[in-house]
Amino acid sequence: MSKVFVLDTLQQPLNPIHSGRARMLLSQGKAAVFRQYPFTLILKQEVSKPTVEALRIKIDPGAKTTGVALVNDATGEVVWAGELQHRGFQIRDALTSRRQLRRSRRNRKTRYRKPRFLNRTPCQKWLPPSLMSRVHNILTWVARLQKVCNITDISMELVRFDTQKMRNPEINSVEYQQGTLMGYELREYLLEKWNRQCAYCGAKDTSLEIEHMQPRCKGGSNSVTNLTLSCHKCNQKKGSKDVKTFLKAKPGVLKKVLVNAKKLLADTAAVNATRWELKRQLITTGLPVEVGTGGLTKFNRCQQGLEKTHWLDAACVGASTPEQLITSGVKPLLIAAYGHGTRQQCRTDKFGFPSRYCSRSKFHKGFQTGDIVKAVVTCGKKMGTYVGRVATRATGSFNISTTDGLVQGISHKYCTHIHKKDGYSYAT
């Protein structure tokens, strides 16, 4: 399993240790829990500082989930792994909703106001908050891991989505001036878009072929909106038929295929827009940054026979990947970005009118919404032990979000802190 981070009495990182040894240190009273996520111990007695092994942090950026892995280049061991879930699309939707409500209030029986959205010119490297949140999430975890282990190098996948090449395979260098973005493997994009399964029968874990929904012989193009993935059996059965004719007896599947074919490249655009900013920010850490392509990541993963997951992709990023990665027993920490709440003074209904009051105090009975707590209820109908994120009330009656669901009405007297609110939730 993933190793446990250890700090000395001066909070300087030591070599990560096996979980069994960590339990022994805790039972003997030689160490205490310094941080729950990522799990870190701090020694109570000074020790002669041994040679601390160098680790490389490897990052596989994604629009929704980013894989992170700590790899020992000398031994090939994956020391720690995590999957970081972003909230960029939630931020985008929240900003859109706020903008719509604000404009509706201004236009509701009020005098005309000149538009002001062109008054302020953003800086050259400005990115919208929904995109910068992805960069900030990754930087936050790089900084946190630097505090608990000896990171000397960074590797990141510098993906390049060529959306113009997807739509027009015959594009040349001059035509690129009419658009943006360059260089991504078409097959890799289709695998991600169609969830690595046959679009017609849903078959997985089989050889998939690129298939034209509208055949070339009937005027179909090589545009990515006309391409899909199918297994060999479905491809042969479809032949030169149009997709609407082939799936005439399956209207549900046909509707799903047509909707997915026209799906916007939102994820592609998000990764494209943040890749260079992420690299620039990582360089400011002062550590050498290695970049690798998506094709190289897949090659390294296939060479070692590893399955397709975010953290294993991260472990395989870059040319520095050891010939043999040791991944047995590693269980990634699942991290979800939740943010730090809102500054709204009141909640609004769908028309933008105030609907309920928000408390000005963030802390109630010593707890804050977002803290991870352990509640041991000793009596009553809700007797039991509950662990999860807490939602506080001024009355002291809290709600706890556990892995089994929401538990309501738990008194603050039964709650103890496990991890203070830091904008993220955790699962294993």
Residue 378 maps to which CATH number? Answer: 2.30.30
Distances (CA, A) of 238 to 83, 191, 209: 39, 20, 12
Q: Among 43-57, 62-76, 262-276, which is the least confidently predicted range?
A: 262-276
Q: Which long-range contacts (CB under 8 A, 24 or more apart) does 401-406 make?
A: 403/427
**From the DSSP assignment, how many helices (H) and strands (E) are in the chain?**
11, 21
Strand 372-377 versus strand 367-368 pairing type: unpaired
pLDDT in tens, 53-85: 999 999 999 889 999 999 999 999 999 999 999
In a domain, 290, yes or no: yes
Which one of 264, 281, 303 terminates a domain? Answer: 264
Same-domain status, 381 and 332: no
Provide the residue range defining the domain that includes 74: 55-87+127-161+272-337
Same-domain status, 73 and 133: yes
pLDDT confidence bin for 110, thresholds 50/70/90: low
In a domain, 382, yes or no: yes
In a domain, 63, yes or no: yes
Which pLDDT score is estimated for 179? 41
Whether residue 106 is predicted with pLDDT greater than 80 in this model: the reply is: no
User: What are the backbone dihedrals phi and psi of residue 154, each rounded to the nearest 5 degrees, phi first?
Assistant: -130, 135
Which pLDDT score is estimated for 75? 93
- For residue 71, list its beta bridge partners: 56, 78
Which one of 215, 232, 264 terminates a domain? Answer: 264
Q: How far apart are CA 71 and CA 152, in angstroms?
A: 11
pLDDT confidence bin for 183, thresholds 50/70/90: very low
Same-domain status, 157 and 59: yes
Whether residue 208 is predicted with pLDDT greater than 80 in this model: the reply is: yes
- Which is more confident, 410 or 110? 410
Average pLDDT rounded to a whole number, residues 185-196? 76
Same-domain status, 66 and 149: yes
Which pLDDT score is estimated for 153? 95
In a domain, 385, yes or no: yes
- Which is more confident, 188 or 298? 298
How many Cα atoms occupy the beta-carbon half-sphere of 289 within 13 Å?
16
Average pLDDT rounded to a whole number, residues 156-181? 55
Which pLDDT score is estimated for 161? 52
296, with CB counted inside 10 A (0-12, 13-18, 19+), is: middle
Q: Which domain CATH number covers 139? A: 3.30.420.10
Which pLDDT score is estimated for 149? 94
Same-domain status, 326 and 288: yes
**Nearest alpha carbon to residue 87 among 275, 336, 342, 403:** 336
In a domain, 283, yes or no: yes
Whether residue 264 is predicted with pLDDT greater than 80 in this model: the reply is: no
The pTM of this model reads: 0.77
Mean pLDDT of the chain: 86
In a domain, 307, yes or no: yes
- Which is more confident, 148 or 194? 148
Q: How many residues does the chain have?
A: 428
Whether residue 178 is predicted with pLDDT greater than 50 in this model: the reply is: no
Q: How far apart are CA 371 and CA 81, in angstroms?
A: 23
Same-domain status, 69 and 149: yes
In a domain, 355, yes or no: no
Q: Among 14-18, 241-245, 388-392, which is the least confidently predicted range?
A: 241-245
Q: Which long-range contacts (CB under 8 A, 24 or more apart) does 101-109 make?
A: 101/348, 101/351, 101/352, 102/352, 104/351, 104/352, 105/352
Same-domain status, 295 and 372: no
pLDDT confidence bin for 9, thresholds 50/70/90: very high
Per DSSP, 426 falls in state E
In a domain, 168, yes or no: no
Number of domains making up the chain: 4
Average pLDDT rounded to a whole number, residues 168-185? 47
